[in-house]
Structure 1
Amino acid sequence: MKKILFALLFMLTPVLAQAAGGGNIHLDSADIDLQNKDSLRRGAKLFTNYCLSCHSAQFQRYNRMARDLGMTDDQVINNLMFASKEVGETMTIAMPGEQAESWFGVNPPDLSLTARSRGPDWIYTYLRSFYLDDSRPFGVNNLIFDKVGMPHVLWQLQGFQQPVYETTVDEEGKEHKAIVDLELVEQGSMSPAEYDQAARDLTAFMTYIAEPIRLERKRIGLWVIGFLVIFTILAYMLKKEYWKDVH
């Protein structure tokens, strides 16, 4: 019995560690709709214009995106392809990793699976949590990614935010400052509501590229579950028929 309990605790250790590592960071609900193709197309435009310069999405092909988002190959070629030549290519970037590392201090990661590893709520909150910080190389920091190594590439849309601090005193009389809110000090080309929608659209697109088959998988899954339910009922009735004379 002790061995079984030990084995269960050993298997749960990574889960408990992940939960403990999450801290007290509040994540806003992205509330995305992967069936809203207009939102996905807007997110694709934002991604290719603002993200694809440094970050690749090498597991996603342009022509697959065109088919899923209700676009023609010509529309993708003329509006969303800047670094690739063929519509059947994956969403890679032209910037070599060595140069990126020398410029930014780190090679920008591929974003194909970010929505699966971080979650849509994390991406949505991250896009809305940049704030001015003179101590950082690019002059900005992020609430949920402290000491972030990238600039706020969407600043022209959102504008700039500054942190609102709250000072508390502990039992030893020491003061501690903590960020409790962000306030807009310079508005961009979008209103706060418009930028929130843009962040939601970009989050939806990144969630889509993380698993393009997601909606189809869920649709097929419902049919499979329905089949198993019907099959279970028929199998049970057949079992009762076969064993009725025995019982």
Structure 2
Amino acid sequence: MKKLVAIVLISVLPALGLAAEGHDVELHKAPVNLQDKVSLQNGAKLFVNYCMGCHGLEYLRYGRMAEDLNMPEEAVAKYLNFASDKIGDPMSNAMHAEDGKAWFGNPPPDLSLEARYQGSDWVYSYLIGFYEDESRPYGYNNKVFPSVGMPNVMASLKQELGEEEFNAAMGDITNFLTYAAEPIAAKREHLGVYVLLFLAILLIPAYLLKKEYWKDVH
């Protein structure tokens, strides 16, 4: 029962604008496009290299990601899977919860469902929302999540890319996390196009049949 309630809340809260953090902050629109494989692939690469040292994706497996994002399993195993020797394993990290709590105040959360719980706009706004704050232990604060314990691990990347390209890169990570939260969504969207086309075609004989049945009714 508790799991059912949690699933309902994860699905409903973003739609109501009641995400746990940052619901009173103006959020930036996330550039989410689940059909953009290049963006998703780049987001996966950036996530593994910059985020996965602390955060995992327990509900997503390397093999599923490789299949969905059109990535060769050999490349995923060689360049993206640093925590396991099996393509079928979940995308977990090696950090122990006790270590995470000692270093950051709380264990870094698993991000499998973060985009569904907080919403894609929240995730994107959070990623681009870090700013310098000398009062904080790591020298940075966040506009969306004030006093967050997470260091700004993207600071060097922003200096390297510049603001515009950096925001695009954070958009790719957000796109990937949106996919990770519901891997079937892209296929469902694709299938939905064919369903609508079928219904549009079916409308024609249905209309003609209706005219035939009612032609003698005055």
Please confirm whether the aligned pair reaches a TM-score higher than 0.5, indicating the same fold: yes
Give 5+ residue unaligned stretches, structure 2: 1-13
Residue identity opposite 2:58 in structure 1: Q
Which residue is 1:22 aligned to? 23
- Out of 215, 218, 225, the residue aligned to residue 186 of structure 2 is 215
- Out of 151, 165, 188, the residue aligned to residue 194 of structure 1 is 165
Which residue is 2:34 aligned to? 34
- Higher relative CO (Cα under 8 Å, sequence separation at least 6) belongs to 2
- What is the Cα deviation at residue 124 of structure 1? 1.7
Which residue is 2:84 aligned to? 84
Residue identity opposite 2:84 in structure 1: S
Count of aligned pairs:
203
Alpha-carbon contact 2:112-2:180 (below 8 Å) kept: yes
Question: Superposition RMSD on alpha carbons, in Å?
Answer: 2.5
| Paired residue secondary structure (2:18) | helix
Q: Tell me if 1:107 matches 2:78.
A: no
| Paired residue secondary structure (1:58) | strand
1:93–1:17 Cα change, 3 Å = closer
Which residue is 1:178 aligned to? none
Q: Tell me if 1:225 matches 2:193.
A: no
**Higher helix proportion:** 2
- What is the Cα deviation at residue 112 of structure 1? 1.1
Distance 1:234 1:43 in 2: 45
Give 5+ residue unaligned stretches, structure 1: 1-13, 159-187
TM-score normalized with structure 1 length: 0.72
Which residue is 1:175 aligned to? none
Q: Which has the larger radius of gyration?
A: 1
TM-superposition CA deviations, 1:52-79 (whole Å, max 9, x none):
1111111111111112222211101111
**Higher strand proportion:** 1
Which residue is 1:58 aligned to? 58
- What is the Cα deviation at residue 22 of structure 1? 2.7
Distance 2:200 2:151 in 1: 52
Aligned residues: percent identity? 50
TM-score normalized with structure 2 length: 0.81
